[in-house]
Structure 1
Amino acid sequence: MAVALHEARDHTLALFDCFAASGMADPSKVPRLPIVNPPLWELGHIAWFAEWYILREAKTSAPNAAQQPSILLNSDAWFNSNTVPHAARWSLDLPSPAEVKTYCRRVLDSVLEKLRCAGDSDATLYPYRLILAHEDMHGEAFAYTLQTFGITPPLQYPALDAAREASDEIRFSGGSVEMGSRANDGFVFDNEKWAHAREVKPFSIDASLVSNALYREFVVSGGYQENQLWSATGLAWLAQHAADAPGGWRRDGSDWYELRFGIPVALAPDEPVRHISLHEAQAYCAWAGRRLPSETEWVYAAQSAHPAFRWGGLWEWTASRFTPYPGFSEDAYREYSAPYFGTHQVLRGASFATSPRLRSVRFRNFYAPQRNDIFVGFRTCSL
């Protein structure tokens, strides 16, 4: 656990330094977008979260739940995401980057010291695992913020496996599948509670994600202009963004390229298409006579251990709205899942920027349907 906490913090700071080198340590220099946070605020929030649950011994995220004072005066007024509105994070009188880094170091040192005296039960380690997962997720958020702003990351992310061919499909006969986590599984996120069986009808699913080549056919055939392919919310998204291709795609005559962290890269036909909103994935499926897999179908395929079923390069949209499982109850971080039930969509898998510690068939990611800035693609399905 101590090694993992060190690794996560080193990664966080390396990513933050990329923003700092680009002049974005100053929140006033950061574009005000609803999909990002000022990196300095986010760095402070990561340390605050760890201090809140470990050093200040808060049992929940409720206001005034902390049993100990912060080591940084005004930290609650600056870095509590539950009380500091998103739009206000650009105008706070935040400490300097050096002061925030000092806060990060002091919190981590104290957390590690407390960890040395902790027991090894799941209950004792729960808050440590929570803050580790929280920092890992913010590390991925930092990565897609680097992509959004066209800033080179501090490491070379791995290349993705080749995406599917048109006939690359797996047939499953259906049956029962266990969804969610069990009480004795160790650390679980609250939206994984609790394990329950679901029945799956026979279905066919792509072995891997839709490729750039296949999606380009949709683009050049005029898919973005065929209104009948798009849902009402998809059409509203199209009108708002004036989209005619995936995020980051650019055309140069008959050739296409995409922007990877600000660098133009020739569009690789066999790589999975990325930076796709749910609306775009649904429109492609309508064009191709296919559909998105449900969350249950995705889990069934992933748990099957079928050698051709590949996942983990990009997050994957599913056809399932993000809703609670039977037996759901909020955990210490009360705002992790519950506020997003019914408005967000389930994504499954992982991306190249996801920490290996978070890669699990049980993990339920969730985003608003319009998000295409994250590292996300999709695969298709049929009966």
Structure 2
Amino acid sequence: MTTTEQLRTRVADELDRARARSVALTDAVDDGDLVRQHSKLMSPLVWDLAHIGNQEELWLVRDVGGREPVRHDIDDLYDAFQHPRADRPALPLLSPTEARGYVREVRDKVLDVLDRSPLEGRRLEAGGFAFGMIVQHEQQHDETMLATHQLRRGAPVLHAPPPPPGRALPTAEVLIPAGPFTMGTSIDPWALDNERPAHDVHVDAFVIDAAPVTNAAYQAFVDGGGYDDPRWWSPEGWAYRVKADLTAPRFWLRDGDRWLRRRFGVVEPIPPDEPVVHVCFHEAAAYAAWAGKRLPTEPEWEKAARFDPATGRSRRFPWGDEDPGPEHANLGQRHLSPAPVGAYPAGASPAGVHQLVGDVWEWLDTGFHGYPGFEAFPYREYSEVFFGGDYRMLRGGSFGTDPVAARATFRNWDHPIRRQIFAGFRCARDVSIAERSQGAVTVATREDGD
């Protein structure tokens, strides 16, 4: 099999895998749930399904394939920039039956286009980029639909085995020495525009948590009055905490003297050793201040995830360049929750930082901007129009992120008040003068309010 044929097979497999997930997420509920808006923050599931098909038609059927439109009359309905999510239920959307028929018809044409594409030549087709972009787009919407399922009320409809058990880590913190590293990529064929180009960044020495902050650690902040003390919050964060009446992570429920959580329709005790999830940036930053730390910056996070001091190069993933396997990370909706800390020793970075990919998106204290030499491709609306503003970066993916969109260079962003996404965090701190002089770092952590 030639390299082009191998690529064609891979693209077909990835398209099929993404569609199987979309179908599973939409077939899990009845038509009433598909057309209902479960939260004003989210689209009806049927909108996401047809939007997936519409983007596939625009880029692969019409652009790459040069074919006639399948449904040019619905382009406006499924343009995310023309209709805010809160307004989408009032649009004359395709019915569930029509949406399913539409995405099937588009996919049939796309597979024919794939058979005929040389997968080289112009930039959009070279390396199968356009196909990879659409696969990632569908998987990103699948994660969004998974978040909609979490917001949905009613009996559980999604099921998956529990994640593997955790294990004790050798240290609670890891020292990342000062020095340059290569951030971003110029060679990954399916990397999106905001991941490009590769460029050298100097990062001062810092200390980062070996694992994301757990439910138990975060509960100490909650029970210790962290939500009642403005000392730990930024002015913007405190104003939002008061306005939104935040008292704990979203989906946490007080039951007497204990906490429960609602997870995909199941109410259960909160696992103490799982990473905390469904917290906004402001909550993460407040916890970090309470713990005497801070949130990492984006360059710090990526250096901890990618830099290999033995070779001086940046890897695609913390464990190396090979694609994620089930032993490396909690990805792809294999499980319906984060895995306990220490569950994936094979996925650790060279420095010994664990679970940087999968489990929970990690809030970072960096705004969204293009890298030096950034070039919008293939359209400004994917990244460039979001640069600036109040966005904060999220890195690493969650248990709902597919491996195809879980590169250690992949960049996500959102407003700092968002809590419906599968987001958690880990802390960082500057290296103390004593640590600099001794060349060592303490592994003590603060687990309570003392």
TM-score normalised by the chain length of structure 2: 0.78
More divergent stretch after superposition (249-258 vs 210-219): 249-258
Change (3 A) 1:352 1:160: farther
* 1:40 aligned partner: 46
* 1:3 aligned partner: 13
* 1:15 aligned partner: 25
> In the alignment, is the contact (CA less than 8 A) between 2:174 and 2:351 conserved in 1?
no
More divergent stretch after superposition (206-215 vs 77-86): 77-86
Offset at residue 80 of structure 1 (A):
2.0
- For the pair 1:309 / 2:353, whether they are aligned, the reply is yes
1:279-290 counterparts in 2 under 5 A?
279-290=282-293
Which of 275, 280, 284 in structure 1 is aligned with 2:278? 275
Name the CA distance, whole Å, in 1 between partners of 2:157 and 2:132.
26
- For the pair 1:374 / 2:421, whether they are aligned, the reply is yes
* 1:112 aligned partner: 111
* 2:396 aligned partner: 349
* 1:24 aligned partner: 33
RMSD of aligned Cα (Å)? 2.1
> In the alignment, is the contact (CA less than 8 A) between 2:124 and 2:378 conserved in 1?
no
Name the CA distance, whole Å, in 1 between partners of 2:170 and 2:223.
17
Q: Percent same amino acid at aligned positions?
A: 36
1:1-383 counterparts in 2 under 5 A?
1-20=11-30, 23-26=32-35, 29-31=36-38, 33=40, 35-57=41-63, 69-72=68-71, 74-121=73-120, 123-124=124-125, 125-150=128-153, 152=156, 154-156=158-160, 159=163, 162=166, 168-182=172-186, 184-304=187-307, 305-306=349-350, 308-310=352-354, 311=356, 312-343=358-389, 344-383=391-430
Q: Deviations over 1:207-240 (max 9, x none)?
A: 0001111111100111000012111211221122
Name the CA distance, whole Å, in 1 between partners of 2:350 and 2:266.
36
> In the alignment, is the contact (CA less than 8 A) between 1:273 and 1:377 conserved in 2?
yes
> In the alignment, is the contact (CA less than 8 A) between 1:163 and 1:209 conserved in 2?
no
Change (3 A) 1:269 1:299: same
* 1:61 aligned partner: none
Name the CA distance, whole Å, in 1 between partners of 2:382 and 2:165.
31
Where in structure 2 are there 5+ consecutive unaligned residues? 1-10, 308-348, 431-450
Change (3 A) 1:238 1:335: same
Change (3 A) 1:156 1:282: same
SS of match in other structure, 1:292: coil
Where in structure 1 are there 5+ consecutive unaligned residues? 59-65
> In the alignment, is the contact (CA less than 8 A) between 2:38 and 2:148 conserved in 1?
no
SS of match in other structure, 1:302: helix
Q: Deviations over 1:183-215 (max 9, x none)?
A: x32122111121111111111110000111111
SS of match in other structure, 2:260: strand
> In the alignment, is the contact (CA less than 8 A) between 1:38 and 1:90 conserved in 2?
yes
SS of match in other structure, 1:77: coil
